[in-house]
Amino acid sequence: MSLKPKQRRLLEEEAQRNPGGPAAQILKNLAQEEAKAIDLMRQASEQAKKDMTRQKILIGVAVLSECEKNPTFRERFEKVLSRHLTATRDKEIMSRFGWEMENENTENNIDSAPATAE
C-alpha cells in the first residue's frame, strides 16, 4: 500500500493526537512493511551482483580452458584483449601471466582507465 504525501501527513497528525490509536498502528505497520521491502530489494541487488560475478568466473574458466587447448583461439583472444584492455597497467598485468598484449599508442591508453565497464 502506498500513501500519497497528504494522506500520510493526515495519518501522522491523527497518530500524534492519539498515539495508541489505529492511525499510529497503521503507521507502525507501514514502517515495518517498508523496511521489509527495502531489505528484499537489498537482498535481490546483492544476489544479482553475486550472480554476475559467478557468470564472469564461469566465462573466464571456459575461455582460459579453451585457450590452453586451442592455440588459434588463444591468438584471436589475445587480439580481443588487446582491443579491450586499454590501461597500460592492465596490459602489464596480463603480460606477467603470459598473455601477449599488443601495445598500441591510442588516446584510450590511459593508466587510470578501468579494464572493464560495469
Question: Which segments within the chain are labelled E, that is strand?
Answer: none
Task: Specify whether the CB–CB gap between 87 and 114 falls below 8 A.
Answer: yes
Query: To 10 degrees, the CA torsion angle through 62, 63, 65, 69?
Result: 130
Encode pLDDT of 88-97 as tens digits: 999 999 999 9
The helix, strand and coil proportions of the chain, stated in percent and rounded to the nearest 5, come to 70, 0, 30
Greater confidence (1 vs 39) lies with 39
What is the value of pTM for the model shown?
0.61
Domain boundary assignment for the chain: 1-69, 70-118
Encode pLDDT of 48-76 as tens digits: 999 999 999 999 999 999 999 999 999 99
